């Protein structure tokens, strides 16, 4: 009997040791996988405001390069220039239109989106790997674009200013070497302080000046009349004496 009890205890100890070792192996393997980038997936990146999902045109461009456009994207004339040697193989380039109202200020207070275009480059239906061998040049033309406008590009989490862009009255030009989503912002309003009163013209002051003159005239007339009454009273008193 004692031998049976001893064997049962030994069996439990061996089972615990085996399970503990297995758990340690699993934990170590999980840590190694996580360190190697095979851990649980992180949260998906936020969607780009405006969507950029409405396809305007899609064309195949070979190693010789070419030009796409001008095409109309939300009322903006868009032209994309692809230099020779930008791609070693034929690629499909798609231009898409965003919802400008959904872009809004793009995080830049006092501005609003007036133009925008998305560019997608694919090779055999898959995203083009890496950066382009030569930069592509995008030109956007619209009367809504002002010389004080800002070109912004989506970096995966937010819109940021594109320092390489050139903006003039009616046009914005930018070069790039990877798939971008661009927007052009223009200042809104005149910077007036909310709730401030508007400047008045000189017309109300003219009426107030006339009224003030009449009151002054009436006051002077009344003063002269009072003086005459006092002088007449004194003269009557002297005549009685």
The CATH code of the domain that includes 113 is 2.60.220.30
Let me know whether 74 and 161 are in one domain: yes
* Domain co-membership, 70 together with 155: yes
CA distance 163 to 181: 15
Distance, CA of 141 to CA of 169 (rounded, Å): 9
Distance, in Å, from the CA atom of 213 to the CA atom of 191, rounded to the nearest integer, reads 39
At residue 203, does pLDDT exceed 70? Answer: no
Residues 170 and 59 reside in one and the same domain = yes
Residue 151 within a domain: yes
Average pLDDT estimate for 207-222: 50
Identify which has the larger pLDDT, 142 or 218.
142
Structural domain containing residue 114 = 54-187
Q: Is there a single domain that holds both residue 27 and residue 144?
A: no
Cα–Cα distance measured from residue 8 to residue 2, given in angstroms and rounded to the nearest whole number: 10
**Structure confidence at residue 63 (pLDDT):** 97
pLDDT tens track for 3-38: 444 444 545 555 444 444 444 443 444 454 445 555
Instruction: Of 53-57, 104-108, 134-138, 236-240, give the lowest mean pLDDT range.
Output: 236-240
Span 47-69, average pLDDT: 95
Q: What is the pTM of this model?
A: 0.62
Residue 194's pLDDT band (boundaries 50, 70, 90)? very low
Do 97 and 83 meet the contact criterion of CB atoms below 8 Å apart?
Answer: no
Query: What is the percent of the chain with per-residue pLDDT over 90, rounded to a whole number?
Result: 57
User: Which pLDDT band holds residue 134 (cuts at 50, 70, 90)?
Assistant: very high
Number of domains in the chain: 2
Q: What are phi and psi of 125, to 5 degrees?
A: 85, -5
pLDDT band at residue 46 under the 50/70/90 scheme: confident
CB half-sphere exposure, 59, CA atoms < 13 A = 16
Q: Which residues of 84-112 are buried (b: 16+ CB within 10 A; e: fewer)?
A: eebbeeebebbbbbbbbeebbebebeebb
CA distances from 57 to 29, 66, 68, 117 (A): 48, 14, 9, 11
pLDDT band at 170 (very low <50, low <70, confident <90, very high): very high
Q: What integer pLDDT is reported at residue 36 of this predicted model?
A: 52
For residues 33 and 58, membership in a common domain is answered with no
Better-predicted residue by pLDDT, 61 or 44: 61
Whether 84 and 22 map to the same domain: the answer is no
Overall average pLDDT of the 29-51 stretch = 65
Q: Are the C-beta atoms of residues 87 and 133 closer than 8 Å to each other?
A: yes
How many helices (H) and strands (E) in the chain? 3, 12
Q: 23 and 125: one domain? A: no
């Amino acid at each position: 009997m004692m031998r049976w009890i001893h064997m049962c205890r030994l069996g439990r100890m061996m089972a615990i040791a085996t399970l503990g070792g297995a758990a340690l192996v699993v934990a170590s393997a999980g840590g190694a996988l996580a360190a190697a980038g095979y851990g649980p997936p992180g949260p998906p990146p936020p969607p780009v405001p405006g969507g950029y999902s409405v396809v305007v045109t899609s064309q195949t461009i070979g190693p010789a390069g070419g030009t796409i456009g001008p095409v109309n994207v939300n009322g903006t004339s868009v032209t994309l220039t692809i230099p020779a040697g930008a791609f070693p193989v034929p690629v499909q380039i798609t231009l898409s239109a965003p919802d400008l109202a959904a872009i809004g200020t793009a995080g830049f207070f006092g501005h609003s989106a007036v133009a925008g275009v998305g560019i997608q480059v694919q090779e055999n239906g898959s995203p083009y790997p890496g950066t382009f061998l030569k930069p592509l040049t995008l030109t956007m033309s619209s009367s809504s674009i002002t010389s004080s406008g800002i070109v912004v590009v989506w970096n995966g989490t937010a819109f940021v200013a594109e320092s390489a862009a050139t903006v003039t009255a009616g046009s914005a030009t930018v070069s790039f070497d990877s798939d971008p989503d661009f927007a052009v912002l223009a200042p809104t309003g005149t910077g007036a302080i909310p709730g401030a009163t508007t400047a008045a013209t000189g017309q109300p002051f003219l009426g107030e000046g006339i009224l003030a003159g009449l009151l002054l005239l009436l006051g002077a007339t009344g003063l002269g009349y009072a003086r005459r009454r006092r002088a007449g009273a004194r003269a009557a008193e002297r005549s009685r004496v």
